[in-house]
């Protein structure tokens, strides 16, 4: 059976709908799954025009009605956007509500067993907040509605995979979040994710928090007080773990093949190297010709994969947005949904 993939359109005022249209027009991935978009069919039809792709948009009420035919995009039509009034590139409560409704519908379908994975398009936090949904991002929405407490974000670009001890908190809070129990939990989630990807004996690298990984307490003691005890306990449980490694060389080693997955201590420590690899910016034309990389939430009872970029309101409606990250996310989702859960993961994903 081919895995059933639900794709949320993202904020209708951003680039999510048009990169979705481009992905369906660039779709050898479609032969490996049954895919349906969750959103507003009118918005997706408009996006096909922006993207200059010849796709037939089929509005359906359930996945069972999807035809999954070449040259077509099946959309579970929520009918919640007035396309004539939609302000492209603008932050609005209406767009935030439409984006949130698509995510909420996808979660419900996955929880009911109708979807094997959800691939999410980019949302705008301010727009969602205006609509009355003040979540920090997709990760927190999925965790809330699946009642998940032990979860983390994994970013991937090529062979570089990074998981985070903390994400959407201030830098001050991020330092406080480096605790032995949390570091150990993220190491376990990293191990399970690699197993799900087919890596039998994952090599896990753990970054330090402070410059020079604390330099034996000279620049901070979180490494010897919290991080190293977590690593030692993980090793005692049979995990192959290295660290804490000084952050300034840690990702050079990860990209060079020293680890199958890297544990970062906070948001920017992990995001910057992944985006340096996957994002290309053309200053002369003020454009992003290539944006790749994926975001996977680990520890959930449902499989969620996302693009690793935002709504790019400045590009909305121009047809110039790159679908590379979405294609990578779809590939990851199909591969993960096609594999059985790793032994001992308690049914969580991965």
Residue at 100 is within a domain: yes
Q: Note the Cα 197 to chain centre separation in Å.
A: 16
Is residue 244 reached through a cis peptide bond, with omega within 30 degrees of 0 on the bond before it? yes
Q: Look at residue 171 and tell me whether its pLDDT is greater than 90.
A: yes
Q: Does 175 lie in the same domain as 133?
A: no
Q: Does 194 lie in the same domain as 108?
A: no
Q: Does 325 lie in the same domain as 264?
A: no
Q: Does 252 lie in the same domain as 206?
A: yes
Q: Does 146 lie in the same domain as 158?
A: no
Look at the pTM and tell me if it is higher than 0.95.
no
Q: 295-325 pLDDT, tens per residue?
A: 899 999 999 999 988 999 999 999 999 998 8
Q: What residues contact 225, with CB distance under 8 A and at least 6 apart?
A: none
Residue at 292 is within a domain: no
Q: Does 205 lie in the same domain as 87?
A: no
Beta strand 203-207 with 240-245 is: parallel
Q: Look at residue 275 and tell me whether its pLDDT is greater than 80.
A: yes
What's the pLDDT at 198? 86
Residue at 294 is within a domain: no
Last residue of a domain, one of 252, 287, 322: 287
Burial letters 164-192, b for 16+ CB under 10 A, else e: bbbbeeeeeebbebbbbebbbbbbbbbbb
Band of pLDDT at residue 349, cut at 50, 70 and 90? very low
Burial letters 62-81, b for 16+ CB under 10 A, else e: ebeebebeeeebbbbbbebb
Q: Does 137 lie in the same domain as 266?
A: no
Last residue of a domain, one of 262, 287, 312: 287
Q: 216-229 pLDDT, tens per residue?
A: 889 999 999 999 99
CB atoms within 10 A of CB 248: 12
Number of domains in the chain: 2
Q: Look at residue 102 and tell me whether its pLDDT is greater than 60.
A: yes
Last residue of a domain, one of 287, 319, 334: 287
Residue at 169 is within a domain: yes
Alpha-carbon gap, residue 345 to 150, rounded angstroms: 12
| CATH number where 259 lies | 3.40.718.10
Contact 69, 42 (CB under 8 A): no
Q: Does 115 lie in the same domain as 31?
A: yes
Alpha-carbon gap, residue 170 to 265, rounded angstroms: 13
% of the chain beyond a pLDDT of 70: 97
What's the pLDDT at 306? 93
Q: Look at residue 70 and tell me whether its pLDDT is greater than 70.
A: yes
Contact 288, 279 (CB under 8 A): yes
Ranges 42-51, 112-121, 284-293: which has the least confidence: 284-293
What's the pLDDT at 340? 54
Residue at 166 is within a domain: yes
Q: Does 334 lie in the same domain as 277?
A: no
Q: Look at residue 138 and tell me whether its pLDDT is greater than 80.
A: yes
Alpha-carbon gap, residue 49 to 99, rounded angstroms: 20
Q: Does 110 lie in the same domain as 37?
A: yes
Q: Does 9 lie in the same domain as 129?
A: yes
Q: Does 158 lie in the same domain as 54?
A: no
Average pLDDT, the chain: 92
Residue at 293 is within a domain: no
Residue at 21 is within a domain: yes
- Comparison of pLDDT for 67 and 184, the residue scoring more: 184
Q: Look at residue 344 and tell me whether its pLDDT is greater than 70.
A: no
Band of pLDDT at residue 347, cut at 50, 70 and 90? very low
Band of pLDDT at residue 116, cut at 50, 70 and 90? very high
Q: Look at residue 128 and tell me whether its pLDDT is greater than 50.
A: yes
Look at residues 50, 1, 41, 43 and name the one whose alpha carbon lies nearest to residue 22. Answer: 50
Task: Give residue 69's domain range.
Answer: 1-151+299-350
Q: Look at residue 20 and tell me whether its pLDDT is greater than 90.
A: yes
């Amino acid at each position: 059976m081919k895995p059933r993939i639900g794709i949320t359109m993202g904020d209708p005022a951003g680039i999510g709908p048009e990169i979705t249209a481009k992905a369906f027009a660039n779709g050898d991935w479609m032969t490996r799954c049954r895919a349906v978009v969750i959103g507003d069919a009118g918005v997706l039809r408009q996006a096909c025009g922006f993207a200059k792709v010849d796709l037939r948009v089929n509005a359906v009420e359930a996945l069972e009605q999807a035809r999954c035919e070449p040259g077509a995009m099946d959309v579970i039509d929520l009918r919640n956007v007035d396309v004539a009034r939609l302000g492209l590139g603008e932050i609005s409560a209406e767009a935030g509500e439409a984006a949130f409704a698509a995510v909420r519908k996808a979660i419900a379908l996955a929880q009911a067993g109708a979807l094997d994975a959800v691939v999410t398009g980019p949302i705008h936090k301010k727009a969602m907040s205006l609509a009355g949904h003040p979540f920090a991002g997709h990760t927190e929405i999925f965790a809330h509605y699946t009642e998940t407490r032990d979860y983390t974000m994994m970013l991937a670009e090529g062979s570089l995979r990074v998981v985070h001890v903390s994400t959407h908190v201030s830098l001050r809070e991020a330092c406080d979040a480096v605790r032995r129990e949390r570091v150990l939990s993220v190491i376990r989630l990293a191990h399970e994710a690699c197993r799900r990807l087919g890596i039998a004996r994952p090599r896990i690298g753990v970054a330090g928090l402070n410059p020079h990984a604390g330099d034996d307490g000279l620049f901070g003691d979180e490494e010897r007080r919290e991080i190293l005890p977590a690593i030692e306990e993980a090793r005692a449980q049979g995990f192959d773990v290295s660290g804490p490694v000084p952050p300034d060389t840690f990702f050079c080693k990860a990209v060079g093949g020293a680890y199958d997955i890297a544990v970062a201590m906070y948001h920017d420590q992990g995001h910057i190297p992944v985006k340096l690899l996957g994002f290309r910016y053309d200053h002369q034309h003020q454009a992003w010709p290539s944006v790749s990389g994926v975001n996977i939430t680990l520890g959930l009872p449902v499989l969620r994969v996302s693009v690793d970029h935002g709504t790019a309101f400045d590009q909305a409606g121009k047809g110039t947005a790159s679908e590379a990250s979405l294609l990578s996310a779809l590939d990851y989702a199909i591969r993960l949904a096609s594999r059985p859960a790793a032994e001992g993961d308690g049914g969580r994903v991965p």
